[in-house]
Each structure stands twice: as structure tokens, then as C-alpha cells.
């Protein structure tokens, strides 16, 4: 008998969590605890022209955001494959009603964070309005309190590749700064 997707997810989390705990212990006091970065969602319904290459912009944003947050927080960032599997699990789909992706539903993002032992979840989307204008929107969710701690948006004008890289870098820096501020307040 094959294990359910939740069983596989819990097993995978149990393998990752000790490594993260060791990394946090080495980082010392004040280290940021687990952060889950969800895949960047893509919205093109309002665009004046939808193209097959639009999905590449969302993939680039996902990669760039994960890379930027990981560069700033290191081992505190949960494995993207593990997070992706959690967002596509049967339990996550039941939260979204099956119609929407988990990465655009705050309740589902919080569920993923709780399931993986993350204290923070980063959600985001890129929306295309035209070939030269995109909007990057990102949120930071405190999994423990369930509150939306940061809601940010940036208009990206020009070639989407460099603009997405710049927009996600700026957002990642704000996310990390906000997490560190929030964690410092909670440690007082």
C-alpha cells in the first residue's frame, strides 16, 4: 500500500526539520525560524495580450524570489520542493475547494506553514497588464498569529526578466527585514 500524500509530506518534513533545527542552533539566538516561500502565482486575465511565454515570467519570479530570500536567510528557508508538494497535497486542495491554487489562498498558505513547521509564509503573484507592464504583489503571513504582516506591490515596467529579478529582490529584502523586526519584538 502506498502512503498518502500527507503521510509522504510529514515524512519529508521530519527529514528536513532536524537539519533546519541544527542550522538554527548554529546560527545562534535571534536566528529567523522556518520560512516557506510559495510558488509565484500568475494572473494574465486582465492583460491586453496573453502569450504562452507568460508562464516563464512566473517561473522566473518563483526562482528569483526563492533565491533572494534564501541568500538572506540561508537554512531557515524550507526546501522549495517540500513546500510545493505541501501546496499540492489533497489536504491543501480541500482548503481551496479544488478550484484555486494554494499559493493564492491565505488559509491554505497558513495550513502549509503549520504543516511544515514554518513560522512565516511568503505568498506572491505576477500580473500581466501588457507586454511591458507587470505588477508584482507579495504578502508575508505570520503563521502563528494568522495575520498578514506585509502586503506589498510593485509595478514592473520594461523587459520582464530584469524587472522581475529586481522586483523580487526588493520584496525579498523587505520580507527579511520585516521578519527580523517581528521576531525581535516577539523575543522581548
CA 165 remoteness from chain centre? 15
Minimum mean pLDDT range among 27-31, 87-91, 171-175: 27-31
150-179 pLDDT, tens digit each? 999 999 898 889 999 999 999 999 999 999
**Whether the Cβ atoms of residue 143 and residue 121 lie closer than 8 Å to each other:** yes
What region does 137 belong to: left with phi over 0, alpha with psi -120 to 50, or beta? Answer: beta
State the DSSP H helix or E strand holding residue 44, giving kind and residue range, or none if neither. none
Residue 96 confidence (pLDDT): 85
pLDDT at 23 over 50: no
* CA dist 49 → 83, 128, 131, 181 (Å): 31, 9, 7, 41
Amino acid at each position: 500500500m502506498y502512503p498518502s500524500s500527507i503521510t509522504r509530506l510529514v515524512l519529508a518534513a521530519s527529514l528536513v526539520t532536524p537539519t533546519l533545527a541544527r542550522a538554527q542552533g548554529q546560527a545562534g539566538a535571534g536566528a529567523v525560524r522556518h520560512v516557506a516561500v510559495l510558488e509565484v502565482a500568475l494572473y494574465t486575465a486582465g492583460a491586453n495580450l496573453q502569450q504562452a511565454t507568460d508562464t516563464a515570467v512566473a517561473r522566473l519570479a518563483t526562482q528569483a524570489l526563492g533565491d533572494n530570500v534564501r541568500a538572506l536567510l540561508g537554512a531557515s528557508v524550507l526546501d522549495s520542493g517540500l513546500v510545493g508538494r505541501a501546496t499540492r497535497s489533497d489536504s491543501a486542495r480541500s482548503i481551496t475547494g479544488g478550484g484555486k491554487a494554494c499559493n493564492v489562498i491565505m488559509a491554505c498558505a497558513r495550513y502549509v506553514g503549520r504543516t511544515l513547521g514554518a513560522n512565516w509564509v511568503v505568498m506572491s503573484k505576477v500580473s500581466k497588464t501588457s507586454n511591458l507592464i507587470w505588477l508584482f504583489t507579495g504578502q508575508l503571513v505570520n503563521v502563528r498569529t494568522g495575520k498578514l504582516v506585509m502586503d506589498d506591490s510593485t509595478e514592473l515596467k520594461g523587459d520582464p526578466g530584469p524587472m522581475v529579478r529586481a522586483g523580487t529582490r526588493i520584496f525579498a529584502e523587505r520580507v527579511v527585514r520585516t521578519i527580523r523586526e517581528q521576531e525581535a519584538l516577539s523575543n522581548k
